[in-house]
Structures are given as structure tokens and as C-alpha cells.
Structure 1
Amino acid sequence: MTKAETLRMTTTVDDAEIAKFQAMAAEWWDPNGKFKPLHMLNPCRLDYITTQIAGEFGLNLSAEAPFAGLRILDIGCGGGLLSEPMARLGATVVGVDAAGGNIPVAQAHAAQSGLSIDYRHTSAESLLETHEPAFDVVLNMEVVEHVADPQAYLTACQRLLRPGGLMICSTINRNPKSYAVAIIGAEHIMGWLPKGTHDWRKFITPDELVAMIEAAGLRAEDRMGFVFSPLTWTWSLSDRDLSVNYVTASVKPE
């Protein structure tokens, strides 16, 4: 049995979803390429992620290497857009992706940047089977809407966390506005993403996601929206507007 066949048997990986991202792997670090939306969103994502981690573990972001001593798992790491900043902040980072083509891209860029990051072609469920030591933080960004079984996937994420650990999970709301913005706008009008990147039927409302997070054994603590301004061409955080992109923070009880 090949590694790919084993991966399919033991995970919630959706082969059709993975194939989409395999085709785009080489463009991860092109700020004007197919991942332009993520490059634009990344500063806002990092603001939320770093603030949540610092607050949960009582860390000072102005200190040198404030995340030193933390083990962070970046699921769906792609080319490393989140893994690299976490490593620069001092964390020990494991980046995993079910799209194998992303891993050499991420490895090469990390080497060019002088960063040591453990990148692996695997999945959350497969990590559990290898008895990986528990993580302090699981980054689960823009992944849950692409898996075959979101509840099983979130349960695997919970099991990878140590008690007291933090999971940050972002996805896309499911409503008429999100269809207009994330699919018609981003894929068909702006051309920011290839057509068919997202399936609106797999989008998840904030209440649905929180219910799944809590069913997985985590305690939901925060949710915020990522809001794009066409006037300033920037993203910002909002505690009121979760109508399209949004993010949650949850903790595994001690």
C-alpha cells in the first residue's frame, strides 16, 4: 500500500479537495499569484493568532522569541505562510499538509529563510496514530471546510492538544453573502482563486462550528470576523461581522 493510500484510509482527507491545492503548490509564495487572498489576509490572521496565544499562555509579544518552549502544529500548512512566523517567534513548529506537493515548497522556503520547521506530508488523524507528543497550540486555518468529515477532523485536532492547549480555527460562513463574496466575487469576478476552489455547501456557520468544537471536547472562548475593505484593500478583525470569513479560539480543558 502506498503512503497516499494509507493516508486516505486513516483520515478525513477529501481527495478532490487536495487535488485543487496540489495544482497550485508552486505558487504559495507569489503574493500576486493564486494565493494572493491569503497573502492579503495573513497580517490579520497573524494578529489574531499571536494575540490569542500570548493571552492564553501569559506571554509578552515584545519579548525576544516570546513563543519559545511552545509546540505548535500548523494543519494544512501549505507553503508555510503561518508556520514561518510562528518559528520566527521562537516556537517549535510542525507543519502538516495532506497535499504532498506543498511540502517541498515549504521546506525549500524555510531553508532559504534560515528557519528550522518540521514539515510532513500527513494528516491530523495520521499524527495520532504515530503517538505524536501533544501540542500546546493547533492552528487549523481554512481547512475544516475542505475535509470530508468536519466533526471527526475537529475531534482529531482536540486529541492532538495537551490539556490547557489552544486551537485556533478559521473558516467561511454559509449564507447568501458568503456565496456572493467568496465564490462569485473571489473566484469568478476577481479571479483571486481558481473556479471551484470552494464548495459553498461545505461552508460552516459560526454556531455550527462552535457546536462541533464543543462536541469534540473543547471549550469555545472567542470568535471574530475577518472583514475585507474594498476601499483600503485591507483586512481587519471585527467582533460584529462574521458574515463571511471568521475565526474561533478554543481551549482543551485541564
Structure 2
Amino acid sequence: MDTETTRGTTVDQAEIAKFEAMAAEWWDPNGKFKPLHMLNPCRLDYITRQIAAEYDRDLSAEQPFAGLRILDIGCGGGLLSEPMARLGAEVVGADAAPRNIPVARIHAEKMGLQIDYRVTTAEALAEAGEVFDVVLNMEVVEHVANPASYLAACQQLLRPGGLMICSTINRNAKSWLMAIVGAEHVMRWLPKGTHDWQKFITPDELYDLLRGAGLEPVDRKGFVFNPLGWSWSLSDRDLSVNYVTASLRP
């Protein structure tokens, strides 16, 4: 695997190449990112509720996240950055894949949104002294070369008391069947090879990694797909495939 380890980054160039090849399709709900478009309402429900609870914000307000600085690391085409901007946050969208950022910028301009999109890494942002109230770290940790170092960089990006939302995929027989065989080979939602099952992380492993990075895990939920309703929902118990965590920097 072609993994870049210079300059203290955990970027995996082989993983970046996969997503660069799909960059133009970020905003096509029926394209290669169809699974994320389907999952996005469920992700946003969890994210917005966690931020509102932590910062005592009223989600019924016009711009409930006004005054909050949010980093969307691994932002892709901006599927999460744009809703955060609409809710009033100051948003930085960062991605190590250079082809993703122009796609995100163009779409944000069309939507009339001000989002600071950058081709950069968590490590580079931390080294520059950037600080955020919230870090959105969604479906990224299973693609980096060194999860422990990557999460340590994310911790540095949070102000004391700051919140990180981190989602990934569990590692077990079910996740292999659903996330790789089902999504990549049967449904063909994603190109073959998008995910590496060996890089998936169990919930307990992620909690250990978060604690090792100096973060305090406070919540975790499962994202559960219902093939009958063709929809996603949150679960307190079922973390068997996709799941999300919330943690704080003390």
C-alpha cells in the first residue's frame, strides 16, 4: 500500500486515490455516493442533537449554531459542511483529496453558502494552531494509515470542552457481508475496493483510541439500515455495522 508517512501525516495515498476517482459524483444522489446520501439525514439528526445538547442550542432557532466554529474533516463534496453552514456555524471543510475541494466549493457557491474549503490534513491544521468548537470526523478513521496518530491530531484541533463526532464501521462478519459484499459487490453502491475490512474498527477499539488520544467518549449509537423501508435509523443497541460516537476534550 502506498502510504505517505512524511511530514507527520497519517494520509494514506491509496485511500485518497479511491475518492479522487469519484470526486465529480459527490452531489449525485444516485451515483457512487448514494449510500452517504441515504445515510445523511440520520447522520445529521445525531450530529445536530449532540451539538445542540453540548452547547445548549435551540434547534428550532433560525441559526442555532451561530458563533460555533466547526471543522468537517474529510469533507468530500460538502454533504455535511453545507447543512452546518445553513445552521449558522462558521465551517471549515478539509480534505486531503485535491479533486474533492473544487467540487465542494462550486456547489457551496451555487447554494449561496460561505464555507472555507481547504486541501489539507488534520495534522497540518493542528500544526497551524487551528482550534474548533466541533470536529466532524465522519467515515474517515477507517481510511487513514494510523488511526491513533490521526485521532491525536483531531484532539489537538478541539478547544477544551470541544466536541468530536466520529463515525466508522465495525469489524465483524456482518460488516464484511453488508459493507463490502453487499454495498460493493451486490448493490454496487460503491466501487469494489472502496473499503478494507481489516481497517474497520470495533466500538470498543474506537473508545480505546479516543481515550488514548486524550478524549472522553460520552455516547455511541448505531446507524441501522432497514432494507424494507430503504432507510436508516439510530439505535442504542445495534452497533454491528455502522456506528457513531461523541467525545469531548476535557
Q: Is the structural similarity TM-score above 0.5?
A: yes
In structure 1, the partner of 2:20 is: 22
Q: How many angstroms apart in 2 are the aligned matches of 1:210 and 1:216?
A: 10
Aligned counterparts, 1:117-136, within 5 A? 117-132=115-130, 134-136=131-133
Contact 2:101 2:117 in 1 (8 A): yes
**C-alpha RMSD over aligned residues:** 1.2
Q: For the Cα contact (< 8 Å) 1:225–1:243, is it kept in 2? A: yes
**Contact 1:94-1:119 within 8 A present in 2 as well:** yes
Which 4+ residue blocks in structure 1 deviate beyond 6 angstroms? none
Kindly report which structure 2 residues correspond to 1:1-254, keeping only aligned pairs within 5 A, or say none.
Answer: 9-132=7-130, 134-253=131-250
The size of the alignment, in residue pairs, is: 248
CA contact (8 A) 1:7 1:126 kept: no
> 2:184 is paired with a residue of what secondary structure?
helix
Deviations 1:36-69 (A, max 9, x none): 0000000000000000000011100001100000
- Checking the alignment, whether the CA contact within 8 Å between 2:12 and 2:143 is kept in structure 1 is yes
- Which residue in 2 is equivalent to 1:3? none
TM-score, normalization by structure 2: 0.98
Partner deviation per Cα, 1:23-43 (whole Å, 9 max, x = no partner)? 000000000000000000000
Q: Unaligned regions of 5+ residues in structure 1, if any?
A: 1-5
Once the 2 structures are TM-superposed, how far is the Cα of residue 10 of structure 1 from its aligned partner? 3.0
The residue type equivalent to 2:69 in the other structure is R
Q: Which runs of 5+ in 2 are unaligned?
A: none
Q: Distance in 1 between matches of 2:178 and 2:5?
A: 33
Do the aligned partners of 2:218 and 2:247 also contact (CA within 8 Å) in 1?
Answer: yes
Inter-partner Cα distance in structure 2 for 1:97 and 1:63: 30
SS of aligned partner of 2:159? strand
Mapped to 2, the partners of 1:129 and 1:231 lie a distance apart of 47
Q: Is the 8 A contact 2:129 2:157 kept in 1?
A: no
Query: Quick check: 2:141–2:168 contact (8 Å CA) kept in 1?
Result: yes
Aligned-partner Cα distance in 2 for 1:102–1:168: 21
* Distance verdict in 2 for CA 1:50–1:193, change over 3 Å: same
Secondary structure, in 3 states, of the residue corresponding to 2:62? Answer: coil
TM-score computed with the length of structure 1 as normaliser = 0.96
Q: CA deviation at 1:7?
A: 9.0
Q: 2 CA distance for matches of 1:203 and 1:157?
A: 19
Contact 1:27 1:35 in 2 (8 A): yes
Identical pairs, percent: 76
Give the residue type in structure 2 aligned to 1:76.
Answer: G
